[in-house]
A and B are shown apart, each in its own frame.
Chain A
Amino acid sequence: MLELDNLRITQDDFSLTADMVVPQGATTAILGPSGGGKSTFLLALAGFVPTTGSLRWQGRDISAHLPAERPVSMLFQEHNLFPHLSIAPNVGLGLRADLNLTKAEKTAVEAALKRVGLGGRGADLPRQLSGGERQRVALARALLRNKPLWLLDEPFAALGPALRRDMLTLLEEIRAEQQATVLLVTHAPDDARAIAQNCVFVDNGRATPPVETETFFRQPTPAFKAYLGV
């Protein structure tokens, strides 16, 4: 269970507060206007932006932990892969940061690639893959890292509608298999409706506590209404 207790994120003249409990083993969508701080919110949870207040995972405060020590895998919109490494080592980094992989670990890499539909592509370079395939590689790595908390920052925003729907489905399948907790930043309300069980709205220096998706859309807050333009 991820608990944010009076968490305050301050960066230059931007600040954001959050007080919430993120439901475990579910997908929570993070919605809100551009520049509202959605990405910064995720970066802070991942340990890249300093915070005050407390951030607890399974009751343990992790707010002083380094990014690599947190129970977190993060996916960005792009630049998830190192362009000079082929696909297999890019995924293998999820197991060992120095890439000295054992045979069993190499097999695990191949299995993860297979799971995301890229079996046999391990020797390709990222530039030989399409945008959607690259994000699948990043998913495969997150799968291998086996961290309980996945933070996704608009990972499918650059993809077309059909591809995006496929990726969301794949993500939700894998999340369910892994019993992972997912926080998904998106600017598309449809994404939230498609896979998220809960929604958080980030605007005006505040992240609201998660509301069940159906309720969130059926009884929109004034701020969310303004964001939707309805």
Chain B
Amino acid sequence: MSPVVKTCGIAAILVVAVLVLAPVMALLAQAETGGWAVAAWPAIRFTLLQASLSALISVVLAIPLARALMRRQFWGRGLMISLLGAPFLLPSIVAVLGLLAIWGRSGVVSDILATVGLGPLDIYGLKGVLLAHVFFNLPLATRMLLQGWQAVPSEHFRLAAQLALAPRARFALLEMPVLRGAVPSALLVIFMLSMSSFAVALALGGGPKASTIELAIYQALRFEFDLAAAAQLAIVQLLVGLSAAALAFHFGRAVRFGGGLGAPFQNWDSRRWPRWLDGLVLITAAVFVGLPLAAILLKGVAGLALGLPAGLPLAWAISLLVALVSTTVALALALALAFFITASQRGDRIELFTLLLLATSPFVIGTGLFILINPVASPFSLALPITALVNAALSLPIMLRIIRPALERVNADYGVLAEGLGMAGRARFRLLTLPQIRPELGFATGLAAALSMGDLGVITLFAPSDMQTLPLLMYRQMGSYRMDAAAGSALILVASSFALFYIFDKGGRDAGTG
């Protein structure tokens, strides 16, 4: 291992460890100062309930959808797969707005129901949280299952067709192994995402019956200023998150972000399953995912036609700045860690260590930082640097998961050749590694920038009332029922997130020869 890789790698591990452990220490110290609050129980119960149900519903619905996508060749299949990628990049608060436009009290569905004399829908509480989480995670689960199926060699499908396997045997031989591999990790990933999806709980949950742990932390910090209660809740969140992360790690490392899902499968058994049923599944899914997206676009255009909402340009600039700073920090850390992990013989353990550290939800880190900073300075004055730092921690595991396999691939394919030619250090990075991992680097950077741009999380703990990022501005507009303004902000926000992703991803894919 070169000294540069070693120094940077160890430095990055230390940064991550301090970034995570210092806040956790602060939480532990603070939690001691108050008696254990019984009030936390409903929040814990609701968090576990909604996260489990979100995972279960998303995965159960994803199975028929993935199977339909797998075996049918139809016009718009590529578009549909792209559509399934959209919710992952969509800022949660924007998605909530889109869902409200369809399923809310004055949404499209309620309007239709009113014509036949039925009362309006109410999507606040558990129903709404589940709806939003399924909207986000059904596409994610579907893509994970599709990736699993794509790993089956086409020879196996041909063999099954030749042998004219009965449906049950076919299921047992071909589909079951894929599901056994993909379903547990899909369940756990969605459980973790749903557990720490603060913006959804903030916008659609609330009240004693539908409050998540993170929401309770937010209330304890912002409204009651009860640091001990916040710290206790954060520790609970941390423990649940760590357990889920450890299980996810155990159940497989199959989680890939992105990757081509282009070609449909060669499939000779599709006649056994009624065509119309697959069609119904596909159309329902397209409508379920597509309608809120369309609503965001239409309402956003209408909202912007009324003029630019007050405060939007400044909030946009702040969000962009935070996104770029956090992405830079995350990229530097991810590169240092990825190189170190790839070169180290104990790479897997180091990766596990960093991923587990980072499984602490950003909200937990934010709470700890709040408690840490509170005695020395006003946490509110440090809102932006802290948001950028926590967003970087949020993106780091995703980036690491994308960059490390790319590095390993380069080393496996060209390591021997490069060593034989004496390519080392900077020359090797410039001439071999960088051009080879550019696509993954661009993709990972684009994801990090888009996620940070759209994030509505720790900023809510820290932001003073006169300062806001674009998602926070949007949330505040929704809170004061300025829905046109919120719709306009949502469109700008989602366009900016997608543009950031597109610019970085494209920059990575455009071939540059050294």
Residues of A within 8 A of B (CB): 43, 46, 48, 66-69, 72-74, 76, 79-80, 82, 84-86, 89, 93-94, 97-99, 125, 145
Contact residues in B for A68 (Cβ distance below 8 Å)? 419-422, 424
Contact residues in A for B424 (Cβ distance below 8 Å)? 68, 97
Q: Is the CB of A82 within 8 A of B414?
A: yes
Q: Is the CB of B420 within 8 A of A98?
A: no
Interchain CA distance A97-B430 in the complex, whole Å: 11
Interchain CA distance A94-B423 in the complex, whole Å: 10
Query: Taking the complex as formed, is B413 at the interface, i.e. its CB lies under 8 A from any CB of chain A?
Result: yes
**Given A46-B420, A93-B431, A94-B421: A86 and B513 interface contact (C-beta under 8 Å):** yes
Query: Taking the complex as formed, is B511 at the interface, i.e. its CB lies under 8 A from any CB of chain A?
Result: yes
For B423, give its contact among A69, A74, A86, A93 (CB under 8 Å): A93
Q: List 10 A-B contacts (CB under 8 A).
A: A48-B420, A68-B420, A68-B422, A76-B416, A82-B432, A84-B511, A97-B421, A97-B423, A98-B423, A98-B426
Give the residue among B413, B436, B513 with the most A Cβ atoms within 10 A: B513
Contact residues in B for A99 (Cβ distance below 8 Å)? 427, 431, 514
Give the residue among A72, A89, A97 with the most B Cβ atoms within 10 A: A97
Interchain CA distance A19-B444 in the complex, whole Å: 51
Q: Is the CB of B431 within 8 A of A67?
A: no
Contact residues in B for A43 (Cβ distance below 8 Å)? 416
Query: Taking the complex as formed, is B417 at the interface, i.e. its CB lies under 8 A from any CB of chain A?
Result: yes
Nearest A residue (CB) for B428: A97
Give the residue among B428, B511, B514 with the most A Cβ atoms within 10 A: B514
Q: Is the CB of B422 within 8 A of A97?
A: yes
A51 to chain B, nearest CB (A): 16
Q: Is the CB of A48 within 8 A of B419?
A: yes
Contact residues in B for A48 (Cβ distance below 8 Å)? 416, 419-420
Q: A79-B417, A93-B423, A99-B514 are in contact. List 12 more A-B contacts (CB 8 A).
A: A48-B416, A67-B420, A67-B422, A68-B422, A82-B417, A84-B435, A85-B435, A85-B513, A97-B421, A98-B430, A99-B427, A125-B513
Interchain CA distance A203-B514 in the complex, whole Å: 43
Interchain CA distance A68-B424 in the complex, whole Å: 10
1/0 contact string of B216-233 vs chain A (CB within 8 Å): 000000000000000000
Contact residues in B for A46 (Cβ distance below 8 Å)? 420
Interchain CA distance A67-B422 in the complex, whole Å: 7
A69 to chain B, nearest CB (A): 8
Interchain CA distance A22-B423 in the complex, whole Å: 28
Interchain CA distance A66-B422 in the complex, whole Å: 9
List B residues 492-514 near A (Cβ within 8 Å): 511, 513-514
Q: Is the CB of A67 within 8 A of B419?
A: yes
Contact residues in B for A84 (Cβ distance below 8 Å)? 435-436, 511, 513-514
Contact residues in B for A74 (Cβ distance below 8 Å)? 416, 420
Nearest A residue (CB) for B416: A48
For the complex of A and B, the 4 pairs showing the least CB-CB separation, nearest first, are: A68-B422, A98-B427, A84-B435, A97-B423
Interchain CA distance A73-B424 in the complex, whole Å: 17
A164 to chain B, nearest CB (A): 22
Q: Is the CB of B427 within 8 A of A97?
A: yes
Q: Is the CB of B514 within 8 A of A89?
A: yes
Interchain CA distance A72-B417 in the complex, whole Å: 12
Contact residues in A for B435 (Cβ distance below 8 Å)? 82, 84-85
Contact residues in B for A73 (Cβ distance below 8 Å)? 420
Interchain CA distance A168-B395 in the complex, whole Å: 52
B430 to chain A, nearest CB (A): 8
